């Protein structure tokens, strides 16, 4: 029998993270979540966290901006999946540094989940987002970290609620 990968998910309560947690546990992987202290006491996240506990997920208290806690969390696993939001994509350099120090990761999946930035050209604001993702890719590759980029093109569910008007919380109500 093949041993299952031990997976750490960073960014697990966001748009895609909860689905990655579900898939990991469904496939029988020992799943670990990096969880901030503030998230553990956040009432709006309690039902999601309870469902994770019922799935035998292990919580590791830490933070993307606390190097020591990142290294500690990474030492428990052999696969790291980042599902952090776009606003923090550049902060994945912290994960890269922690993976290097821990020295045990067999695969890193950075928060990509969109267009292949090596093959896509965009206009602002996408152009800046693509540049940041390319910068993270280059850092991973330069450090020699084993990786997998998951590119699914655009996630329609992300754009549909605001009809591709990023920042809008509802569809436009004006009449033409």
Catalytic annotation, residues:
133
Please name the residue that has the structure tokens 């996630």. 155
Cis omega before residue 125 (within 30°)? Answer: yes
Residue 162 DSSP class: G
CA–CA separation, 41 and 17 (whole Å) = 19
Give me the half-sphere count of Cα atoms (radius 13 Å) on the Cβ side of residue 112: 21
Q: Which residue has the tokens 């050209």?
A: 121
What CA–CA distances, in Å, run from 84 to 90, 95, 103, 174? 10, 11, 22, 34
The residues, any chain, with a CB within 8 Å of residue 6's CB and separated by 6 or more, are 29, 30, 31, 32, 76, 77, 78, 79
DSSP element (H, E) containing 80: strand 79-82
């Amino acid at each position: 029998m093949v041993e299952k990968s031990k997976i750490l998910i960073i960014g697990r309560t966001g748009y895609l993270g909860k689905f990655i947690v579900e898939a990991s546990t469904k496939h029988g992987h020992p799943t670990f979540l990096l969880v901030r202290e503030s998230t553990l006491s956040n009432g709006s996240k309690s039902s999601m966290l309870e469902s994770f506990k019922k799935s035998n997920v292990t919580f590791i208290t830490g933070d993307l901006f606390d190097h020591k806690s990142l290294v500690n969390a990474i030492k428990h696993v052999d696969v790291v999946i980042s599902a952090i939001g776009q606003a923090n994509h550049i902060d994945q350099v912290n994960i890269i540094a922690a993976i290097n120090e821990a020295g045990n990761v067999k695969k890193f999946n950075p928060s990509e989940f969109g267009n292949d930035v090596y093959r896509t050209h965009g206009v602002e604001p996408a152009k800046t987002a693509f540049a940041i993702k390319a910068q993270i890719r280059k850092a991973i590759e330069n450090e020699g970290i084993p990786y997998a980029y998951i590119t699914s093109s655009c996630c329609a569910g992300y754009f549909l609620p605001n009809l591709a008007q990023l920042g809008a919380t509802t569809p436009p109500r004006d009449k033409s």
